[in-house]
Structure 1
Amino acid sequence: DFLLLAGLSREDVLARMTADGREHLDHALTVGRGAILALPHMGSWDMSAAYAGALGYPVVAVTERFPGSLNDAVLGARRRFGVKIVPVGRSAVRAITEALQSNAVVALVCDLEQGPGVTVSFFGRKAVVPSGPAAFALKTGAALIPIYQYVVAPGRYQGHVDPALAPRDGETKESLMQRVVDRFQEFIKGHPDQWFAFRPMFSR
């Protein structure tokens, strides 16, 4: 996907991908507190970010670093469509907060443990997932929106945007992340061959 994105124009990206449910994101942004897109490692998450950037959304994506010069190549591909890249780490907290305060869209892949996490039930087993999406949503009032994307044919993609998860009375970051993971389960059940768990995630 990095190699493909490096050679695509904005028009190419928009022609290769469509997404249903974009009205949920547009509605969330009318509130003015930003939106957190919570997504699993499904399909081509980099294409999803590029698509959102190509549509004109102000996108901030938090990502891990790649080794050596590969990181520069990956960053170049990811930034081509206006996506701001923030590396995982302490500085990400401030960057995410500022992005949400400016009513931007923050994309967080959150189906694998990364940093402080919470324990959830995932396909009937205990797993640890990042608490960040829920913690930021509860603290800032930003909309928390589960999304996913899948490949429908070589070089062709379909995305889906859920309605925002409105916090319930007494909501905690643990309970809110469980609701996110519940949606991930449904996404994955629909396209199990397109979920990439890059490392063990279930508690023994």
Structure 2
Amino acid sequence: MIKLLAIRVAMRVFSWITPRAAEYLAPPLAALVWYSVPRLRRVTRLNLRAVFPDMDAEQRNRVGRSSMTHYVKGIFEAGILWHWPLEKMYKLFDGVEGMEHVEEARRVGKGLIVAVPHYGSWEMLNLYLHSKGKAAVLYKPSKHPDINALLRDKRSRSGAEMVPATGSGLKRMYKLLKDGFCVALLPDQEPSRGSGAFAPFYGIEALTGVLLPRMAQRTGAPVIFAVCERRKGGRYRVHLFKADEALYSDNKRDALTAVNHGIEQCINVDIDQYLWAYKRFRNRPEGEKSFYKR
């Protein structure tokens, strides 16, 4: 009960912080996290050193701090997503690039799968997607029923259906695709070994979930990759990328390589806005040493 109340109070306070104000408030808070939590700093540096081997230590630190700043901005954004009028939030978007891919996919008539990496403001992106048609979002439910109900209620304010990542939830996603919905899911979370296979991500073998290509192959629904970029002045811009044809391949490695290439395209819009503190390379191919162990 106390935790639930604390969340409600925090989100109300955060709703008073506009995206423009967050540009000034987030950097010092992010710096505090960066310098006080060595684990996050170390994981971020290891990821950046592996993915961008030509980047020097000074650049890695700059990108790492900037990435943490964007993460803090995302926490502030939760407040406006919970409490601001929808029309007020829609006015924060200053454009979209690649909308023709959505229009092309809609003409297929089999729904649309949108892969949304941990980049920029992925929650604002979910809001934008629903403004363009019927939408559903796959999410990992909280272990606490009261908190889960609150989060589901607030995240579905735009009218998007929140679907839990459970067996029954996945069945629901397939049905929604058949009904012409746009369904969004995260393609860059590391799955269990039984739910994924290794494929290159920036040239490094990464355990990659099979759900996205499997869903596309079973339903015939087109796939696009999408991110919401934070821009100066508290504005947002949506970027949409058409998935490689290989994503629909029966060859698992080819399909998963296409998934990771789509994620790379999204990240390359602005590498500072990706969540580099996530342990994307936790699992390793057999015989390979731990990536993060000291």
Q: Calculate the TM-score normalised by the size of structure 1.
A: 0.89
Give the structure 2 partner of residue 82 of structure 1: 159
Letter in 1 for 2:100: E
Letter in 1 for 2:271: P
User: CA deviation digits over 1:176-196, x for unaligned, max 9?
Assistant: 221121122232233222111
How does 1:18-97 map onto structure 2 within 5 Å?
18-55=95-132, 57-68=133-144, 69-97=146-174
User: CA deviation digits over 1:149-203, x for unaligned, max 9?
Assistant: 2211364211111124435895434312211211222322332221115641213
CA shift at 1:76, angstroms? 2.1
CA shift at 1:97, angstroms? 0.9
Q: Secondary structure at the match of 2:154?
A: helix
Q: Which runs of 5+ in 2 are unaligned?
A: 1-76, 285-289
Give the structure 1 partner of residue 89 of structure 2: 13
Structure 2: how far apart are the matches of 1:169 and 1:51? 26
More displaced 10-residue stretch of structure 1: 117-126 or 134-143: 117-126
How does 1:120-139 map onto structure 2 within 5 Å?
120-139=199-218
Q: Which runs of 5+ in 1 are unaligned?
A: none
Structure with the bigger percentage of strand: 1
Structure 2: how far apart are the matches of 1:188 and 1:11? 28
Contact 1:48 1:149 in 2 (8 A): yes
Structure 2: how far apart are the matches of 1:38 and 1:169? 14
Contact 1:10 1:54 in 2 (8 A): no
CA shift at 1:3, angstroms? 1.2
Structure with the bigger percentage of helix: 2
CA shift at 1:21, angstroms? 1.3
Identical-residue share of aligned pairs (%): 25
More displaced 10-residue stretch of structure 1: 162-171 or 18-27: 162-171
Q: Calculate the TM-score normalised by the size of structure 2.
A: 0.64
CA shift at 1:82, angstroms? 0.9
Higher relative contact order (CA 8 A, sep 6+): 1
Letter in 1 for 2:262: R
CA shift at 1:66, angstroms? 2.9
Structure 1: how far apart are the matches of 2:252 and 2:218? 10
Structure 2: how far apart are the matches of 1:76 and 1:2? 13
Q: Secondary structure at the match of 1:53?
A: helix
**Residue 98 (structure 1) aligned to one of 149, 155, 175:** 175
Contact 1:2 1:77 in 2 (8 A): no
How does 1:113-124 map onto structure 2 within 5 Å?
113-115=190-192, 116-124=195-203
Contact 1:112 1:197 in 2 (8 A): no
Letter in 1 for 2:101: H
More displaced 10-residue stretch of structure 1: 12-21 or 134-143: 12-21
Taking a change above 3 Å as real, the CA distance of residues 23 and 186 of structure 1, as seen in their structure-2 partners, is closer
Contact 1:40 1:110 in 2 (8 A): yes
Taking a change above 3 Å as real, the CA distance of residues 16 and 67 of structure 1, as seen in their structure-2 partners, is farther
Give the structure 1 partner of residue 236 of structure 2: 157
Structure 2: how far apart are the matches of 1:25 and 1:7? 29
CA shift at 1:99, angstroms? 0.9
Structure 1: how far apart are the matches of 2:213 and 2:130? 23
Letter in 2 for 1:122: F
CA shift at 1:81, angstroms? 0.6
Give the structure 1 partner of residue 256 of structure 2: 177
Superposed CA RMSD in Å reads 2.1
CA shift at 1:111, angstroms? 0.7
CA shift at 1:47, angstroms? 0.7
